[in-house]
Amino acid sequence: MAYAGLRISEALNIQLTDFNLTVGELKVRGKGDKDRVVYLNDKIINSIREFLRVRVVDSSYLFANKNNGVIHRSTINKIFNKYSDKITPHTLRHYFCTTALEGGFSVHEVAYLAGHSNVQTTLLYLNPSRESMRSKINQL
């Protein structure tokens, strides 16, 4: 979620046939049944390869419960709550969008990668930092 901008439901519904680790692409079934392709960086590719090497379930889902089905989002939320009162699945998504925008991706590129149907949603992630604004004001 932090490196691909996925919603929790999108991450939990990833099936093994949805990604191609050779080319670094993931087909995501998004909100409103809108499919998109998300590009995976080397961190994600290496993590998935390692996870697949050690996982013990035999499921078509990347993240499966003990019955080889989809993990429920409440289970994931409980895990997040157990380890942090600040980090949630959505804050990881927020991190991705903010970092991608700060890193030079256009608003339209981030909107596509995050599955936003309206770029106005993506614009909410444009929160310039004090340091960024000071640096730019000094360039005037």
Segments making up each domain of the chain, as ranges: 8-138
86 noted as active-site residue: no
Residue 63 near residue 14 (C-beta atoms within 8 A):
yes
96: exposed, middle or buried (Cβ count in 10 Å: 0-12, 13-18, 19+)? buried
What per-residue confidence (pLDDT) applies to 139? 87
125 noted as active-site residue: yes
Q: Classify residue 55 by its DSSP letter.
A: -
Element (H, E) at 26: strand 25-29
94 noted as active-site residue: no
CATH 1.10.260.40 fits 8-138, yes or no: no
72 noted as active-site residue: no
Instruction: Going residue by residue through the chain, which has 140 residues, state the pLDDT in tens, using 9 for 90 and above.
Output: 999 999 999 999 999 999 999 999 999 988 877 899 999 999 999 999 999 999 988 999 999 998 999 999 999 999 999 999 999 999 999 999 989 988 899 999 999 999 998 888 888 887 766 777 788 888 88
Angle subtended at Cα 105 by Cα 14 and Cα 102, rounded to the nearest 5 degrees: 105
Pairing mode of beta strands 19-20, 25-29: antiparallel
